[in-house]
Amino acid sequence: MIRIRQTLLAAAVAIGSVGVAAAAELPPVIHFAGVGSGFGLPFGQNTFAVAQVKGVMEAEFAGTDVRLDWGYFTGTGPAINEALANGQADFAQYGSIPNIIGYANGLPTRILLSYGGTNIFAVARKDLPIQSIKDLRGRKIAVQKATIIHWALLKALQANGLTERDVTIVDLKNPDTFAALAAGSIDAAFGASYILPLRDQGIVKVIYSTKDGGAQATGFGAIVVTDSFQKRYPEATQRVVDGLVKAGRFIGEDENREEVLRIWAKSGVPYEIIAEDFAGKPLRAQTNPLIDDFYLAQFRDAIEFEKQQKLIRRDVDLTAWLEPRYLADALKRLDLENFWPHRSADGLRQSAAN
Amino acid sequence: MLAETSLDIRTVSKTYQVNDQALDVLRNIDFTVEPGEFVSIVGASGCGKSTLLRLIIGLDTEYHGDILLDGRRIDGPGADRSIVFQEHRLFPWLTVEQNVALGLDASDAPVAIRGQSVAEHIDLVRLAGFEKAYPHQLSGGMAQRAAIARALVNRPKILLLDEPLGALDSLTRAYLQDELLRIWRQQSVTVLMVTHDVEEAVYLSDKIVVMEPRPGRIAGIVPIDLDHQRERAAAGFIAHKERVLHLLNH
Amino acid sequence: MVDQTVSEALAKPAAAAGPGRDFWRGIAVPAALVVIWSAASHLGLVDSRLLVPPERVALVPFLDADGRELWLGITASVLRMLAGFTIGILAGGALGLLMGVSRFAERGIAPSFTAVRQITLFAWIPLLTAWFGNGEAAKIVFIALSAGFPMALNTHQGLRDIPIAFVEVARVLRLSRRRLLTQVLVPSALPAIAIGIEIALINAWIGTVGAEYAMGLGRGVGAFLAEGREQFRMDIVIVGVLTLALVGFVLNTLLRAGVARLMPASGNSRR
């Protein structure tokens, strides 16, 4: 009797451990893809960069044979979508507009967590009587279409009672914007912090910044994983999210601010610009990874934007796309559930206690 | 050596189709080259003499009639016939030695023998010392001599020459004419040469086939029964020359 | 010297030592351009934001932290180029050889080859990044294509342009097909093939910088240039463009020297 029980028990343990082993299977290599820039080896101005440099991700996989591969794509969103499609990337950190385009066109990703906001600025030619967004009525504005900047422009116009039809939008990439402003063929331009050097060159003045309370108009994106990777390697996926959350905590701690800015300056963007970009508020507030009501509302807004701009044809089921359980699990285990503010749909902070 | 070979041209004709019209290039060419003879073909441009040579060497195989070498109909190029063109056509990337050796490429002589044969023939054309030279380093006359060596190295039964001295200056030409005589006698090879230079033909040949154009046919055959060394100013020489010119111009 | 013309005989004798007259003549035009460039930016003839003075540009790769990334960038680009170039000329040469030697292959392949060749190389980039991603593979394939097309074309052309005179000699001497290929066709086609390699090289270099510029991920002169453009750093952009030109020039000079040494002075060269 006892023998049979022992045998059954042993068999159950054996089968069970196979199941556990399968779930605990680790990949030989994990590919990370982020947006990057640089004169030499491209580097990112993001969570991945900090996770890489501080060895946080390495620590998650210490003692295993897993190799970590970090790639920072200067081709931004489109290049990262290609990399995900090709199996060149397992995890990616990039903007919401290409996030949505990829997913809507069949790229099987799952959103794991956010990474905070990208500040958007508007600049206008110094010689023109433009002081604020309201003065942009009837003006020519340069913005790179089909990006979060374009979305932010519309949001800014909306907040000031203007629509796309009240202005002329010129589709230009960053370097061409410089030439157009210098030549006087456009009146204003929208962009992220890369546009600030124009002010330093004396051609334009800054007339608007999402830092001044424009949370709903601030750029945003997602950190995604390919569906096949997270299904096959749930253990590894959890470890990655743990690592990213830990990196996020490092970024959010005030005493690390200097170091984080220095790490991000490896992307070739001048330190002064990065410092100015994030000045005035604690980094923690600007790098919120939570999938809260605010984040959901922003994403829905971006999806609408893309449908309107005819960037996507099909609708996107946001709920199906999200996979927040890894984040929830990490926050709980690391006791960081209240480290970042949970925001309501309109962007106002909710109480920290859940 | 190989002086027993005869070349029979029997009623050879060739027609080209030009714009749906038949053009007779050669009509009823009939003559024989006896073993060991030095025969020249002379004629104005357009008389088909070069075409005839191309038929004999086998670069062209479409014609009516028969071309027989030792009684056998020829069919394309063969080891029994060699040709020297007006341009030396040596390969510029090969040395004199290597160019001459190519003449033995298709033969089944063993390699050891080949080297010796090449050296002998370079000697024959008096180019010893220039084995490692490249064609661009040779004068026109020297290059042509190398071409002759390449043509003879395989010991053909008949050597064809298509205006071989036409591209050279008159001093070199005179020198090479004597060289040709010497080589012909030393090798005992049968020679058929095309030339537009009547005096050259009379100087070198045992008989001259005179052709006229439109269509290419034989105007006459003039035997030259003078002894070598021939004197260009001698009465007999001039008389033969006159006879040939007469046939050419009538 | 006996063959001097009268004017040559009357001219001053050339300097005994140091760089020859050819060197100075070659330097003259670029030097003049640099002087004009310097004047234009200092005198304010051109917006100095767009045309950075040459003295500043010259110092950027040495004194500027961003500018110093150039050196590793050049190394990365040249290595990348060599890889793609080698693959390109081998594959292109093989294709050109096949088409040049076999009429059957030529008839079958040439029409498609000609059609594909018409596609501007840069139009391949979206296809390549979609198939190979943005990594090294896509870039090297692009570089190989840049080098392969001119190589195939010139090799094919060179083999087809053999003078009839040589072909007739080969027929009369009854050379075997193999001998014909190795002793006649290929040597005769060598000058054309050498030109093909030269064109392939410069195409490969331009393709390298272009691929880096367009595909981005990793170091390179193209990445250096692209970033300079993104950040409105005209000094970096000018450095990048000059580097592109200078490295291309150096590569071409080295290749020519190498080719001249390998191809004996057999009188085949028209230089």
Q: What is the 3-state secondary structure (H, E, C) of chain B?
A: CCCCCCEEEEEEEEEEEECCEEEEEEEEEEEEECCCCEEEEEECCCCCHHHHHHHHHCCCCCCEEEEEECCEECCCCCCCEEEECCCCCCCCCCCHHHHHHHCCCCCCCCHHHHHHHHHHHHHHCCCCCCCCCCHHHCCHHHHHHHHHHHHHCCCCCEEEEECCCCCCCHHHHHHHHHHHHHHHHHHCCEEEEEECCHHHHHHHCCEEEEEECCCEEEEEEEECCCCCCCCCCCHHHHHHHHHHHHHHHC
In this complex, whether B and A touch, counting 3 or more CB pairs under 8 angstroms, is no
| Residue A236, burial from CB neighbour count under 10 angstroms (0-12, 13-18, 19+) | buried
The DSSP secondary structure of A134-157, one letter per residue, reads GGGTT-EEEE-TTSHHHHHHHHHH
* Confidence at residue A130, expressed as pLDDT on a 0 to 100 scale: 92
User: B16-80+157-250 belongs to which homologous superfamily?
Assistant: P-loop containing nucleotide triphosphate hydrolases (3.40.50.300)
* Confidence at residue C15, expressed as pLDDT on a 0 to 100 scale: 47
Q: Nearest by CB to A82, which of C133, C227, C228?
A: C133
Q: Do C190 and B93 touch (CB under 8 A)?
A: yes
pLDDT band, residue A16 (cuts 50/70/90): low
Q: Which residue has the higher pLDDT, C7 or C49?
A: C49
Name the nearest CA neighbour of A185 among A165, A203, A207, A208.
Answer: A203
pLDDT band, residue A40 (cuts 50/70/90): confident
Instruction: For residue A105, give Cα distances in angstroms to A102, A119, A312, B24.
Output: 5, 28, 8, 74
Say if CB B104 and CB B114 are below 8 A apart: yes
Query: Would the CATH topology of A2-117+220-351 be identical to that of A121-216?
Result: yes
**Residue B199 to chain C, least CA–CA distance (Å):** 28
Q: Which residues of A touch C214 (CB under 8 A)?
A: 75
ipTM of the complex: 0.90
Mean pLDDT of A236-240: 95
Residue of B nearest to C267 (CA): B136
Judged against a pLDDT cut of 80, whether residue C107 lies above it is answered with yes
Is the CA virtual torsion A285, A291, A292, A295 positive or negative? positive
Residue type, A246: K
Whole-number average pLDDT of chain A: 88
Residue of C nearest to A74 (CA): C216
Give CA–CA dist B32/B69, Å, rounded. Answer: 10
* Confidence at residue C269, expressed as pLDDT on a 0 to 100 scale: 46
| Residue A67, burial from CB neighbour count under 10 angstroms (0-12, 13-18, 19+) | exposed
The model's pTM is: 0.78
Give CA–CA dist A179/A185, Å, rounded. Answer: 9
The pLDDT tens digits for A73-105 are: 988 888 899 899 888 899 999 999 999 999 998
Best CATH choice for the domain A121-216 from the list 3.30.300.30, 3.90.700.10, 2.60.40.10, 3.40.190.10: 3.40.190.10
B103 Cβ under 8 Å from any chain C Cβ: yes
Q: At which residue do the structure tokens 């979305």 appear?
A: A151
Alpha helices in C43-185 (DSSP H): 54-63, 69-101, 103-117, 124-132, 136-160, 164-172, 177-179
Judged against a pLDDT cut of 60, whether residue B1 lies above it is answered with no
pLDDT band, residue C36 (cuts 50/70/90): confident
Please tell me the least confidently modeled range out of B15-24, B127-136, C17-26, C218-227. C17-26
Judged against a pLDDT cut of 80, whether residue C96 lies above it is answered with yes
Q: Do B134 and C171 touch (CB under 8 A)?
A: no
Rank B198-207, C178-187, C228-237 by mean pLDDT and report only the highest. B198-207
Extract the tokens encoding A119: 């500040």
* Confidence at residue C214, expressed as pLDDT on a 0 to 100 scale: 85
Query: Which helix or strand (DSSP H or E) is residue A209 part of?
Result: strand A204-209
Domain regions of chain B by residue span: 16-80+157-250, 91-155
Q: Do A175 and C232 touch (CB under 8 A)?
A: yes
Q: Do C179 and B105 touch (CB under 8 A)?
A: yes
**Residue A188 to chain C, least CA–CA distance (Å):** 17
Q: Which residue has the higher pLDDT, C44 or A182?
A: A182
Q: Do A38 and C227 touch (CB under 8 A)?
A: yes
Give CA–CA dist B49/B26, Å, rounded. Answer: 9
Name the nearest CA neighbour of C122 among C63, C208, C46.
Answer: C208
The pLDDT tens digits for B126-177 are: 999 999 999 999 999 999 999 999 999 999 999 999 999 988 888 999 999 9
pLDDT band, residue C19 (cuts 50/70/90): low
Q: How many CB atoms lie within 10 A of CB B167?
A: 16
| Residue A122, burial from CB neighbour count under 10 angstroms (0-12, 13-18, 19+) | buried
Whole-number average pLDDT of chain C: 85
Name the nearest CA neighbour of B208 among B246, B170, B178.
Answer: B246
* Confidence at residue A351, expressed as pLDDT on a 0 to 100 scale: 54
Rank A170-184, C65-79, C144-158 by mean pLDDT and report only the highest. C144-158
Judged against a pLDDT cut of 60, whether residue B14 lies above it is answered with yes
pLDDT band, residue A173 (cuts 50/70/90): confident
Q: Measured at the alpha carbon of residue C141, what is the angle toward residues A73 and A173, in degrees to the nearest 5?
A: 40
Domain regions of chain A by residue span: 2-117+220-351, 121-216
Give CA–CA dist A132/A136, Å, rounded. Answer: 7
Judged against a pLDDT cut of 50, whether residue C266 lies above it is answered with no
Residue type, C41: S
The pLDDT tens digits for C186-222 are: 899 999 999 999 999 999 999 999 999 888 778 899 9
Mean pLDDT of A245-273: 92
Residue of A nearest to C226 (CA): A39
Name the nearest CA neighbour of A119 among A266, A276, A315.
Answer: A276
Quick one: how far is CA B158 from the chain centroid? 8
Judged against a pLDDT cut of 50, whether residue C137 lies above it is answered with yes
Mean pLDDT of B216-234: 89
Q: How many CB atoms lie within 10 A of CB A202?
A: 9
Judged against a pLDDT cut of 60, whether residue C2 lies above it is answered with no
C63 Cβ under 8 Å from any chain A Cβ: no
Whole-number average pLDDT of chain B: 90
Residue of B nearest to C174 (CA): B106
* Confidence at residue C29, expressed as pLDDT on a 0 to 100 scale: 87
| Residue A255, burial from CB neighbour count under 10 angstroms (0-12, 13-18, 19+) | exposed
Name the nearest CA neighbour of C67 among A42, A38, A35.
Answer: A38
Judged against a pLDDT cut of 80, whether residue A271 lies above it is answered with yes
Judged against a pLDDT cut of 60, whether residue C3 lies above it is answered with no
At C232 the three-state DSSP class reads coil
Give CA–CA dist C257/A229, Å, rounded. Answer: 53
Q: Above pLDDT 90, what percent of chain A? A: 61
Q: Do A42 and C215 touch (CB under 8 A)?
A: no
Please tell me the least confidently modeled range out of A134-138, A180-184, A295-299, B242-246. A180-184
Residue type, B51: T
Best CATH choice for the domain C65-269 from the list 3.90.320.10, 3.40.50.300, 3.40.50.2000, 1.10.3720.10: 1.10.3720.10
pLDDT band, residue B4 (cuts 50/70/90): low
* Confidence at residue A280, expressed as pLDDT on a 0 to 100 scale: 84
Mean pLDDT of A51-74: 93
* Confidence at residue A115, expressed as pLDDT on a 0 to 100 scale: 92
Rounded to 10°, the helix C69-101/C103-117 angle is: 140
Instruction: For residue A304, give Cα distances in angstroms to A199, A310, A315, A318.
Output: 33, 10, 9, 12
Q: Above pLDDT 70, what percent of chain C? A: 88
* Confidence at residue A195, expressed as pLDDT on a 0 to 100 scale: 87
Judged against a pLDDT cut of 80, whether residue A322 lies above it is answered with yes
Half-sphere CA count of B121, side-chain side, radius 13 A? 29
Is 3.40.190.10 the CATH classification of the domain at A2-117+220-351? yes
Q: Are strands B7-18 and A204-209 parallel, antiparallel or unpaired?
A: unpaired
Q: Do B77 and C174 touch (CB under 8 A)?
A: yes
* Confidence at residue C217, expressed as pLDDT on a 0 to 100 scale: 79
Q: Above pLDDT 70, what percent of chain A? A: 92
Q: Do B91 and C184 touch (CB under 8 A)?
A: yes
Say if CB C161 and CB C140 are below 8 A apart: no
* Confidence at residue A354, expressed as pLDDT on a 0 to 100 scale: 39
At A335 the three-state DSSP class reads coil
